Chain A
């Protein structure tokens, strides 16, 4: 029985190692293409890695670099935003994002100090911390039930003090981290203009009046959807309807 288990463990470990080796080789190949100036090829390589293995701040960052060098500012800014979402406090990501925005003629959207502090951890990390505090509170409440059933004595008194201390610390910490997670949560659906220009229309119809345009790379908030049109609001307060293909969501799959 032990030998079967060991064999399974070896197979799983070997499979995982082979998978990691494949991904690592593909990453090296894409990075070499980038270094050699074959930016389109590098972008394809990073994109395939993401499709095969999932997102990471590093992959999004590398893909954004390749798109920026390949002359696709919209896709570059989109992937920098994704990388910043995954690693909000990363200085290199913010540096390249601001540089890409600057080169696209857009204003800086660097984070303020409190936003940096808020995003020093990713949203999912904050949520995990919230869960840890909640679990501690649950354990303390259960322990309290157990302690009440103990024989009166010094042991019961000591355990009671431990339970009270845990509750005294865990409840405020749970409330505080919940508030931080709420602030960090991307409650707004955001997208980036990835075509050369996004035409804003008054209504969600092809024949509707044009009321302006948004430049490539602009970060917008998506407020409403209607067929193939999205109602968006730009950072400068302008709003209107634009077609879906002109935008890509920062959090893939949100529209």
Chain B
């Protein structure tokens, strides 16, 4: 790169810094790992972006001891934004079992005095004494305890497995995770770690289990499969397809950790080994074949795909049988700690109408075995199978809220107490069965026998007006009897509109309409002679009407004008000539006999029209009759 180019890039960088500046102050806190044994180390890292806290110290925290701290700084460029991060890491050691709260902190930014707030975090410290009771049969040799751990028996990979080439390593300096070594003596490229909440449990109890898969940051490995348990001694809940992925330090080695939280349960009593496995693929880099090749570091490496099943640490789980003594009749296998409540709606119903009881069970345990609280047998109520719905509240599916809806139907009237409901479960901490009564309200039931349900067209039975209008003692509900005729048979229930013929008929009718509309729009071919004739017919109708009206009104001029014109029109239609050309001479020349017939009419018409008045004694009605008689032979 020449000097000019370097100078240009430097100026650009400065320009970006000048224009963008530093981003807003923020802080991220991280706890790694989130679950350890007593005596294990855990690191807490606070990463402050675009801010700085001098002399950052953790306050005293109950449950952990601060063993050391370190601070680092780096500048991060993301696109055009630049930020400066300060990381403060504290090394803690857990000194008691249980949940340890790392409190929220308020830090003061040294540069501008602003207050930076962190979130609280919870560290789960295992180590509760869980020595198996005397009655638990031991089916496996006792497993070696991990140093400092009195709870889960954490065994390093390969400790009890001659086939596992990964040797156990005492190195557990990285956040409490024991890092095994590969055959070459290096820290393992890939290893898995399982941590159950306890190693002693009862048959059917759900035990939360954390599964962690570590891949060394420089191992260039890839894992796409989900871990699974070896053997068939335990049932495991489904794992989420996307694990929680984060970078962690184990000793001085950086790892990428995938972690899942699930739960396991054992179907039978005894001591059983617990171990997870995961298919692993990774590429192993080789040195360049030509050491002098300047491009070797970039292109000369040969990658080799390798495959191996990675086994986790191995534990022994002590599974105890549930005691037979004191087992309630309503116990369905629920183990854990549960709270139960119930209600019922509606508060007032008619005899025969359903009441819905809703039970809610919350808590921690094996919710697959949590069934609806048992209802005591009560002749006043008829009960039906409950339906359920579950909402899980944690990733391991051991904390949840399960709701049940159960319909019951009153068989008689009055203020009826709902049947007694009880819920039984086994508390593994108290080591005894617990039966919880569920209080349910009293239901006001009207009527004394099951009424007939609403008939189609009537209001529904929930309508108060129907209830008040119902007879005091309605007949018990019964099915309407069978019908004695076959009725109108159809080959199947498919609606007509789903059949091809229906749409063929629609199309044909539509086509007919379209063709008709087209033909109407085009219309008949125009014929001038036909049009002339139509006009003459119309004129003839008008003259007939004028004759009638004039005769009735005694208007001789109008009458004879119309009568003469009617004769001309009729003859014009007959001879296909213009009506104006047909005077008496023309008519006589064409048909002398007809000329004699119409001559009196034409003469009288001329006389009346030219004189403008009618002669005395002229009978227009008589002339009207004679004219129509005159027109008849002309028409034929």
Q: Taking the nearest CB of chain A, how far is it from the CB of B388, in angstroms?
A: 6
Give the size range of B's interface with the partner.
Answer: 35 or more
A106 touches B238 (CB 8 A): no
A186 to B304, CA, bound (A): 61
A91 touches B457 (CB 8 A): yes
A186 touches B457 (CB 8 A): no
**Which DSSP category, helix, strand, loop or mixed, fits chain A's interface?**
helix
Instruction: Name the A residues within 8 Å of B505 (CB-CB).
Output: 131
Q: Is A13 an interface residue (CB 8 A)?
A: no
**Which DSSP category, helix, strand, loop or mixed, fits chain B's interface?**
loop
Q: Is A111 an interface residue (CB 8 A)?
A: yes
Residue of B with least CB distance to A26: B486
A62 touches B482 (CB 8 A): yes
Instruction: Name the B residues within 8 Å of A65 (CB-CB).
Output: 479-482
Contact of A141 among B353, B385, B484, B520 (CB under 8 A): B520
| B window 198-228: CB within 8 A of A | none
A148 touches B523 (CB 8 A): yes
Contact of A145 among B352, B354, B519, B537 (CB under 8 A): B519
B455 touches A211 (CB 8 A): no
Q: Is B165 an interface residue (CB 8 A)?
A: no
A54 to B493, CA, bound (A): 9
Instruction: Name the B residues within 8 Å of A165 (CB-CB).
Output: none
Residue of B with least CB distance to A113: B457
Q: Taking the nearest CB of chain A, how far is it from the CB of B493, in angstroms?
A: 5
Contact of A102 among B354, B483, B534 (CB under 8 A): B354
In the complex with contacts A65-B479, A134-B506, A185-B495 CB distance below 8 A: yes
Instruction: Name the B residues within 8 Å of A90 (CB-CB).
Output: 456
Q: Is A142 an interface residue (CB 8 A)?
A: yes
A142 to B461, CA, bound (A): 53
Q: Is B513 an interface residue (CB 8 A)?
A: yes
B494 touches A251 (CB 8 A): yes
Q: Is B581 an interface residue (CB 8 A)?
A: no
In the complex with contacts A54-B489, A61-B483, A142-B516, A212-B389 CB distance below 8 A: yes
A111 touches B502 (CB 8 A): no
A181 to B385, CA, bound (A): 38
B512 touches A82 (CB 8 A): no
Q: Which of B460, B496, B510 has the most CB of A within 10 A?
A: B496
| B window 35-71: CB within 8 A of A | none
Contact of A107 among B354, B390, B485, B489 (CB under 8 A): B354
Give the size range of A's interface with the partner.
Answer: 35 or more
A138 touches B497 (CB 8 A): no
A197 to B481, CA, bound (A): 28
Q: Taking the nearest CB of chain A, how far is it from the CB of B564, in angstroms?
A: 24
A108 to B520, CA, bound (A): 55
A111 to B454, CA, bound (A): 10
Q: Which of B452, B457, B490 has the most CB of A within 10 A?
A: B457
A94 touches B455 (CB 8 A): yes
Residue of A with least CB distance to B458: A110
A58 touches B485 (CB 8 A): yes
Instruction: Name the B residues within 8 Å of A91 (CB-CB).
Output: 455-457
A47 to B453, CA, bound (A): 27
B453 touches A252 (CB 8 A): no
A54 touches B491 (CB 8 A): yes
Q: Is B487 an interface residue (CB 8 A)?
A: yes
Instruction: Name the A residues within 8 Å of B510 (CB-CB).
Output: 134
In the complex with contacts A95-B452, A95-B455, A210-B390, A27-B538 CB distance below 8 A: no
B387 touches A56 (CB 8 A): no
B488 touches A56 (CB 8 A): yes
Contact of A34 among B457, B482, B497 (CB under 8 A): B482
Q: Is B524 an interface residue (CB 8 A)?
A: yes
Q: Is B163 an interface residue (CB 8 A)?
A: no
Contact of B538 among A106, A113, A152 (CB under 8 A): A152
Q: Is A172 an interface residue (CB 8 A)?
A: no
Q: Is B477 an interface residue (CB 8 A)?
A: yes
Instruction: Name the A residues within 8 Å of B482 (CB-CB).
Output: 31, 34, 61-62, 65
Q: Is B369 an interface residue (CB 8 A)?
A: no
In the complex with contacts A31-B482, A131-B509, A152-B538, A124-B495 CB distance below 8 A: yes
Instruction: Name the B residues within 8 Å of A59 (CB-CB).
Output: 486-487, 489
In the complex with contacts A91-B457, A108-B461, A215-B387, A144-B520 CB distance below 8 A: yes
A113 to B454, CA, bound (A): 12
B456 touches A111 (CB 8 A): yes
In the complex with contacts A116-B456, A145-B520, A127-B483 CB distance below 8 A: no
Contact of B486 among A27, A86, A142, A216 (CB under 8 A): A27
Instruction: Name the B residues within 8 Å of A24 (CB-CB).
Output: 486
Residues 440-473 of B, flagged 1 when their CB comes within 8 A of A and 0 if not, give 0000000000001111111011100000000000
Q: Taking the nearest CB of chain B, how far is it from the CB of A153, in angstroms?
A: 7
A95 to B455, CA, bound (A): 5
Q: Is B295 an interface residue (CB 8 A)?
A: no
Q: Is B384 an interface residue (CB 8 A)?
A: yes
Residues 347-358 of B, flagged 1 when their CB comes within 8 A of A and 0 if not, give 000001110000
Residues 104-140 of A, flagged 1 when their CB comes within 8 A of B and 0 if not, give 1111101101001000000110011001001101100
Instruction: Name the A residues within 8 Å of B390 (CB-CB).
Output: 210-212
Q: Which 5 A-B pairs have the closest CB atoms?
A: A105-B407, A141-B516, A105-B384, A58-B487, A56-B487
Residues of B at under 8 Å CB distance from A?
238, 352-354, 384-385, 387-390, 407-409, 452-458, 460-462, 477-497, 502, 505-506, 509-510, 512-513, 516-517, 519-520, 523-524, 534, 537-538
Extra contacts, 11 of them, besides A53-B486, A86-B488, A102-B352 (Cβ < 8 A), are A49-B486, A62-B483, A65-B480, A65-B482, A91-B456, A99-B453, A110-B454, A127-B502, A134-B510, A144-B516, A215-B387
22 contacts between A and B (CB under 8 A): A27-B484, A55-B493, A56-B487, A61-B482, A82-B493, A91-B456, A95-B455, A103-B409, A106-B407, A107-B354, A108-B453, A108-B462, A123-B496, A124-B496, A127-B495, A127-B496, A128-B496, A138-B512, A141-B513, A142-B512, A145-B519, A185-B495
